[in-house]
Structure 1
Amino acid sequence: MTITLVLVIAMAVLFSCGVYLLLERSLTRMLLGFLLLGNSLNLLLLIMSGAAGKPPIGGSSEGITDPLPQAFALTAIVITFAVSAFLLALIHRSWKLSRADEVEVDEADAAIGRDREDDPADDDPEIDTDPEAAQNEEATR
């Protein structure tokens, strides 16, 4: 196995574990999932940057490494750090208020979701709910 294949497999494992943890109800697991997704993104940028070459600052321009993926990786690291700090603050506040880090099911949101499943006209504005108007439209054609 080559180094690139190992990095692709590691990136895929980190990404799948991150998505799995993001779908949990625990805020702490969501934070860990977000961190895993950030690390998988950095690995993806490393993989996409290509083979290693000479540094971009120096003598000749032959065989230099493109610095743009490295700049993207640094930007992704900073954004991941900032969002994880924000999520950590939310988790801490939730723990202080309710002594739980689980996301609760909101009954009002669940009722709205059930109502939308029963009435397909809410999802598609093209559907006409008045049967007489539909018959009149067919008669005019």
Structure 2
Amino acid sequence: MEVLFVALIGLFFTAAVYLMLSKFTIRILLGIVLLGNGVNLLLFTAGRITREVPPIIPADTSTLAAGAANPLPQALILTAIVISFSFFAFLLVLTWRAFEELGTDSTDEMRLAEPLDEPLPPMGY
């Protein structure tokens, strides 16, 4: 099962890098989402995936099973999901605002475009 997850992690990272190297902001956002999911799956896989040993700690800790899954990576993943979703929501709003102002989602055209309504303010300090 872990070999399947490792292959899926590699696929996520490969697709994420490919999408983030694009010049369109929507593809960049999808690449960031895939990268976040790949990292979460990597943490989950590193925390050991076992079903043989239940996560119950016996009264005598000297006989603690060595094959039990580690709950810390699972708690870190829950936190990372919330953070990555809020980061994605912020970037999506930022991308939408840039699209409304500039009329394009291509980063090459964004460098050349100016806002449609009003000129840039003067750069006085």
Mapping of residues 36-115 of structure 1, within 5 Å? 36-52=34-50, 53-55=53-55, 58=56, 60=58, 62-63=64-65, 64-104=68-108, 106=111
Superposed CA deviations along residues 31-52 of structure 1, whole A, max 9, x for unmatched, are: 0000000110011011101132
Higher relative contact order (CA 8 A, sep 6+): 2
In structure 1, the gaps of 5 or more residues are 108-141
Q: Secondary structure of 2:104's match?
A: coil
Q: Distance in 2 between matches of 1:5 and 1:66?
A: 18
2-side partners of 1:50 and 1:19: how far apart?
Answer: 26
Q: Deviations 1:51-105 (Å, cap 9, x if unpaired)?
A: 32423xx452533432110111112111111110111011110111122111137
Note the aligned Cα RMSD (angstroms). 1.8
2-structure distance, mates of 1:83, 1:51: 28
TM-score by length of 2: 0.74
C-alpha separation in 1, matches of 2:13 and 2:57: 39
Distance in 1 (CA, whole Å) between partners of 2:16 and 2:57 is 42
- Residue 70 of structure 1 aligns with an amino acid whose one-letter code is Q
Structure 1 runs, 4 residues or longer, greater than 4 Å off: none
Between structure 1 and structure 2, the one with the greater Rg is: 1
Cα distance in 2 between the residues matched to 1:78 and 1:99 = 31
In the alignment, the residues of structure 1 paired with residue 4 and residue 69 of structure 2 have an alpha-carbon distance, to the nearest angstrom, of 21
Q: For 1:34, which of 32, 35, 38 is the aligned residue? A: 32
Unaligned runs of 5+ in 2: 113-125
Cα distance in 2 between the residues matched to 1:65 and 1:14: 24
TM-score normalised to structure 1 length? 0.66
